[in-house]
Amino acid sequence: MRIGVIGCGAIGSVIVDAILRGEVRAELVALMDIYPEKCEGLLKKFAAKYSIPVCKELEELLRIRPQLVIEAASQQAVRDYVPRILTEGIDVVVLSVGALLDEELYKEVIEATKKGNTKVYVPTGAIAGIDAVKALQPLGIKRVVLRSYKNVKAFDKEVLKRLGFSEVKEMTKIFEGEGKVAVKLFPANVNVVAALALASGRIPWVEIYADPARNKNVHEIEVEGEASKIYMKIENVPHPDNPKTSYLAALSVVRLIKQLTEGSGLVIGT
Ligand SMILES: NC(=O)c1ccc[n+]([C@@H]2O[C@H](COP(=O)([O-])OP(=O)(O)OC[C@H]3O[C@@H](n4cnc5c(N)ncnc54)[C@H](O)[C@@H]3O)[C@@H](O)[C@H]2O)c1
């Protein structure tokens, strides 16, 4: 499979590494970033034997005709590029899934998949259990709660001050409320909230805790459906290059590419 990657940051680098090492059976045909030097840096770092084009704009990437484009850039990149790529008949993996909480953009993306006869893949990312949440959804889900625990340093000082938490000396609940409010105050949680919302059909209720002693990003998720009640706890190691991103999120994309490229007769998980 011919793959293009938009966004050569923490997640992009794990994907590029996996392709160039041959961990996944795919061909890297294009890289793109608003800072092209980041792509060049990645290629140097992984000592790529072949010259892989670094695109300065979307049209250049489209001319290369990848079969799959991985967006590992930003919500703005989803807005600016994803509908166009899909309309051109190219499938897309979206990491900045928070962008799809915008109903207008969501509709535009779905429309583009119809026009291009294409697919958008949203990997499970930094959490787990999305398969079970999807399965429960048709019978009805009554409650979705997300509790996130992070080191206090992961939060914007100004936001903490505004919420009345200028000094956090022990684990403190700094927010409880609607997911749509949470993602405005704490954009770092937007992808997890959006993935749960898309899978369950409900915007989660969110609690956020700041803890000076914590070195992992922890998500506790409760989903109460007609058929099951699920409780999940995910303790994520932050990516060394970007502490906001969990390493698991990048690994989930590598796994997805494997699924799309390796034609094993056994499919595990839904
Ligand atoms: N789905 C999930 O569970 C999950 C988990 C972690 C991160 N994410 C999201 O994935 C995205 C990438 O995460 P990351 O940790 O690799 O970020 P990063 O900041 O390390 O890297 C992003 C790269 O994309 C580039 N970029 C930004 N906007 C761009 C644009 N409009 N066009 C081209 N390039 C652009 C940046 O220059 C940067 O090199 C972010 O939006 C992040 O919120 C999703």
What tens digit of pLDDT does each residue of 18-53 get?
Answer: 999 999 999 999 999 999 999 999 999 887 777 899
pLDDT level of residue 269 (50, 70, 90 thresholds): confident
CA distance 15 to 32: 13
By most ligand atoms within 8 Å of CB, the mutation choice from 55, 95, 100 for ligand 1 is: 95
- How high is the pLDDT of residue 158? 92
In whole angstroms, how far apart are CA 179 and each of 12, 152, 204, 269?
A: 27, 20, 5, 27
Residue 97 and residue 198 in contact, taking contact as beta carbons nearer than 8 Å: yes
**How would you classify the pairing of strands 205-210 and 172-178?**
antiparallel
| Centroid of ligand 1 to alpha carbon of 227 (angstroms) | 36
The answer on pLDDT for 244 being more than 90 is: no
- How high is the pLDDT of residue 266? 84
- How high is the pLDDT of residue 41? 92
pLDDT level of residue 220 (50, 70, 90 thresholds): very high
- How high is the pLDDT of residue 245? 82
| Centroid of ligand 1 to alpha carbon of 74 (angstroms) | 5
pLDDT level of residue 186 (50, 70, 90 thresholds): confident
Q: Which residues are catalytic?
A: 219
- How high is the pLDDT of residue 1? 96
A 10 A CB-CB count for 171 gives: 14
Nearest to 242 by CA among 14, 2, 4, 3: 14
pLDDT level of residue 144 (50, 70, 90 thresholds): very high
Closest atom, ligand 1, to C-alpha of 241: 20
By most ligand atoms within 8 Å of CB, the mutation choice from 14, 15, 33, 42 for ligand 1 is: 33
Chain-wide mean pLDDT for the chain?
93
> Pocket around ligand 1: residues whose beta carbon is below 6 Å from it?
6-12, 32-35, 38, 72-74, 76-77, 80, 95-97, 125-126, 191, 242, 245, 249
3-state secondary structure of 211: coil
| Centroid of ligand 1 to alpha carbon of 76 (angstroms) | 10
3-state secondary structure of 157: helix
CA distance 168 to 42: 38
| Centroid of ligand 1 to alpha carbon of 245 (angstroms) | 9
For the sheet with 120-121, list strands across it: 54-55, 27-32, 2-6, 68-71, 91-94, 120-121
pLDDT level of residue 242 (50, 70, 90 thresholds): confident
- How high is the pLDDT of residue 208? 95
The answer on pLDDT for 203 being more than 90 is: yes
Task: Give nearest CA residue, ligand 1 atom 43.
Answer: 96
Task: Give nearest CA residue, ligand 1 atom 18.
Answer: 9
| Centroid of ligand 1 to alpha carbon of 198 (angstroms) | 20
Lowest mean pLDDT among 50-64, 91-105, 114-128, 235-249: 235-249
The answer on pLDDT for 159 being more than 80 is: yes
Look up residue 102 and give its two tokens. 């915008």
Closest atom, ligand 1, to C-alpha of 76: 31
Q: What is the DSSP letter of 118?
A: -
pLDDT level of residue 154 (50, 70, 90 thresholds): confident
What tens digit of pLDDT does each residue of 250-264 get?
Answer: 999 999 999 999 877
By most ligand atoms within 8 Å of CB, the mutation choice from 6, 11, 237 for ligand 1 is: 11
Half-sphere exposure of 76 (CA within 13 A, CB side): 3
What tens digit of pLDDT does each residue of 69-89 get?
Answer: 999 999 999 999 999 999 999
- Express as a percent the part of the chain with pLDDT over 70: 100
